[in-house]
Structure 1
């Protein structure tokens, strides 16, 4: 793969910023067509589909942020000179061709493409049919930006295949694929894993937990819970499950207070058998699988645990491996929780809503990876490269 000079990449990104700003009306009109065709059956998906001037500002800012970052390609990782005279240099290198499959969010069409392009990768954008008009306009902008700077438009492509065609493409791609990122729920991830013939990096599933320790600041806990649950229900970093230690002082009163503040904010509640002893009027969690479900709705589960170990076990058994929070003033307890919980992001006394590239200092993100290889957490610019060894010799042979 030919490497594009950093100065040319940045000129393309500057062109894209200008095109987004200049053609706001065109993008908003395309988005209106998408919204008019959407049935609103899935409120979370509808929320993700909407494009506003504020969201366009966010797209422009994402491109600017990536433009300002150092080029991640061809950086030297290590250099060694061996006893036999070989010079061994390890450098960062592009993945090659990345395919991302996502639903509803036109801003992903900007963020995924800007990251892939700056990291010298080709990207195939398989957006959902519900965002077709918006995505078509955005990819047209990308193609204009590339052409303005003398580059081929093949590096950023929009795929408009249906499910059957996508399945066939995954099984027998018309060009080599190096990485596929399914950014969505369990069904999408399972579908891609079943049919793909290359590496799949899992992203998108949340089902995040918050544990209230016996030494928690209760007022802070309520504030964090409310933010994590209600700030943006369509986000993969939203809160779904709350575990409360039964040794919290005034446990019953606090559990009732938690229930009340959630319901006052429109959140429906299910409880486990122990919590139901206090919250008698609330629905009992019908089966264990609910603990593993991501809601993407104003809905949550409240459970009671007796120990930190019980909380950690519950989270590790059921969470999506995305984010988990402990509310506690005890630093040692927090450290144990954060070391033992198997999630990409673990928090003490803060909302899970911060699991986001921009909020964590990474910048724009391709996705939030819940895999352990090759990276976990926000996939920013520096995570969209692999490595390559350059070995320089002078006729050496191995004995």
Structure 2
């Protein structure tokens, strides 16, 4: 793929900032059409679909942030001169063509495209049908920015495909695909993995856990739990499962307080047998599979453990590999938990809601990867490149 000069890429992003700012009304009207057509029964998807002036400012900010970041392409990773005289340089290089499949969120159309483009990739945007009008306008904005700078609109493409057409495209794409990122739930991920003919990087599933250790600060724990559970239920970094150490001081009273506070904030509860001994009016978790569910709703499970190792095992068996928190004042316990829990982000005394590119200092993100190859966690600008070896010689042959 031809490399675009950094200053040209930045000029495209400058154009996009101006176009977004000057054409707010056009975008808001398109989003209004999407919202009018949407079934509001799915609260999480509806929240993700909304575009307002604040969201547009965030989109503009995401473009500006990426514009200010160093171009990740062509950077030296390592350099070595071998005894035979060969000079070997390992450099960053674009992936090529990335496809992202996502639901509802028009802001992904901005963040995914700006990151892919600045990293010199082409991107195919397969947004959900519920955001069709919003995404069509946003991609048109991108095309205006590209044309202003005499670049092909092929760099950023919107795919309007139904399920059958998507399946056919994944199996036999009409252009070269190098990476697919399904940003959504388990059914979407399974669908893409089943049919894709190139590398798939998994993103999107949450089902995040928080463990309250016996040495936790209880008031702090309540604040963190409320934030992680109720601040934004549509986010993949929202909290779904809470584990409480049975040896915590005033265990029964604290369990009662936790349930009351969650319910006062509209959260429905399911509890395990240990928790039900105290929370007698709450429904039992009906089956083990519920521990693996991502709720995307004002709903959570409360379970009990008798030791930290039990909490670690439960999380590793059931979480989505996204985020997990331990609430404790014991640094050794925290470190043991953080080393052994198999998630992309592990926290001590902080909300899982911070698993976000902007919050973690990465900037805009394509997604939160829960895979281990090639990267885990927020996929920012630096993570949207691969590598290539440049080997310089003077006629060397291998004997």
SS of match in other structure, 2:358: coil
Counterpart residue number, 2:93: 93
Structure 2 residue 304 is the aligned partner of structure 1 residue 299: no
Counterpart residue number, 1:55: 55
SS of match in other structure, 2:296: coil
Structure 2 residue 152 is the aligned partner of structure 1 residue 120: no
Q: Distance in 2 between matches of 1:374 and 1:154?
A: 26
Listed as ranges, the matches of 1:310-321 within 5 Å are 310-321=310-321
Shift in Å, 1:40: 1.1
Shift in Å, 1:242: 0.1
Shift in Å, 1:388: 0.1
Q: Distance in 1 between matches of 2:96 and 2:320?
A: 28
Counterpart residue number, 1:275: 275
SS of match in other structure, 1:280: coil
Q: Distance in 1 between matches of 2:8 and 2:176?
A: 25
Q: Distance in 2 between matches of 1:55 and 1:309?
A: 42
Q: Distance in 2 between matches of 1:232 and 1:325?
A: 17
Shift in Å, 1:39: 1.2
Counterpart residue number, 2:356: 356
Q: Distance in 2 between matches of 1:227 and 1:87?
A: 53
Counterpart residue number, 1:263: 263
**Normalising by structure 1, what TM-score?**
1.00
SS of match in other structure, 1:51: coil
Q: Distance in 1 between matches of 2:90 and 2:310?
A: 44
Listed as ranges, the matches of 1:105-254 within 5 Å are 105-254=105-254
Q: Distance in 1 between matches of 2:282 and 2:128?
A: 37
Where structure 1 has 5 or more consecutive residues not aligned to the other structure, the ranges are none
Counterpart residue number, 1:285: 285
Deviation string 1:339-382 (CA, Å, 9 cap, x unpaired) is 00000000000000000000000000000000000000000000
Q: Distance in 1 between matches of 2:87 and 2:313?
A: 48
Counterpart residue number, 1:44: 44
Q: Distance in 2 between matches of 1:76 and 1:87?
A: 13
Counterpart residue number, 1:335: 335
**Normalising by structure 2, what TM-score?**
1.00
Listed as ranges, the matches of 1:18-33 within 5 Å are 18-33=18-33
Counterpart residue number, 2:346: 346
Deviation string 1:142-168 (CA, Å, 9 cap, x unpaired) is 000000011011010000000000000
Shift in Å, 1:294: 0.1
Counterpart residue number, 1:379: 379
Shift in Å, 1:175: 0.6
Q: Distance in 1 between matches of 2:379 and 2:341?
A: 21
Q: Distance in 1 between matches of 2:200 and 2:108?
A: 18
Larger mean Cα displacement after TM superposition, 292-301 or 36-45:
36-45
Matched pairs, number: 399
Q: Distance in 1 between matches of 2:34 and 2:259?
A: 37
SS of match in other structure, 1:397: coil
Shift in Å, 1:297: 0.1
RMSD: 0.3
Shift in Å, 1:190: 0.2
Show structure 1 runs of 4+ deviating over 3 A. Answer: none
SS of match in other structure, 1:180: strand
Shift in Å, 1:169: 0.1
SS of match in other structure, 2:137: helix
Counterpart residue number, 2:388: 388
Where structure 2 has 5 or more consecutive residues not aligned to the other structure, the ranges are none
Counterpart residue number, 2:4: 4
Q: Distance in 1 between matches of 2:170 and 2:149?
A: 32
Shift in Å, 1:41: 2.2
Q: Distance in 1 between matches of 2:39 and 2:367?
A: 26
Counterpart residue number, 2:322: 322
SS of match in other structure, 1:216: coil
Q: Distance in 2 between matches of 1:41 and 1:373?
A: 36
